[in-house]
């Protein structure tokens, strides 16, 4: 499991691209016996006007990548608006 919170926005684009490439490569090797999950709590793009940060889960388990929006949370954990929804 890879977890990151309020960090992605600070990575330069080249680092973000390398991280995504590594996740996708590991995801291609994942299966039912060795799944890969990515849990994130990250800010929306500037100017979105939405409160808090987006909570997301991505799961690779041999069938490609499945994604869920889990809701939103305060940047410091003071509140969580839990609204899980499968995206893919």
The residues near 20 (Cβ < 8 Å, ≥ 6 apart) are none
Tens digits of per-residue pLDDT, 16-62?
A: 999 999 999 999 999 999 999 999 999 987 667 889 999 999 999 98
State the pTM of this model.
0.88
Helix (H) or strand (E) holding 85: strand 80-86
Given pLDDT bands bounded at 50, 70 and 90, which one contains residue 63?
A: confident
Q: What is the pLDDT of residue 47?
A: 65
Q: What is the pLDDT of residue 64?
A: 87
- For residue 20, the 8-state DSSP code is H
3-class SS of residue 37: strand
Q: What is the mean pLDDT of residues 58-72?
A: 93
Domain positions in the chain are: 2-86
The residues near 43 (Cβ < 8 Å, ≥ 6 apart) are 6, 8, 9, 53, 54, 75
Model confidence at 4: pLDDT above 70: yes
């Amino acid at each position: 499991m890879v977890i990151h919170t309020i960090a992605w926005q600070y990575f330069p684009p080249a680092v973000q691209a390398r991280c995504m490439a590594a996740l996708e490569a590991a995801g291609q090797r994942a299966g039912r016996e060795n799944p890969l999950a990515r849990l994130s709590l990250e800010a929306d793009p500037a100017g979105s006007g939405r409160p808090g940060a987006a909570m997301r889960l991505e799961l690779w388990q041999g069938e490609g990548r499945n994604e869920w929006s889990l809701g939103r949370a305060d940047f410091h954990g003071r509140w969580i608006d839990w609204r899980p929804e499968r995206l893919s």
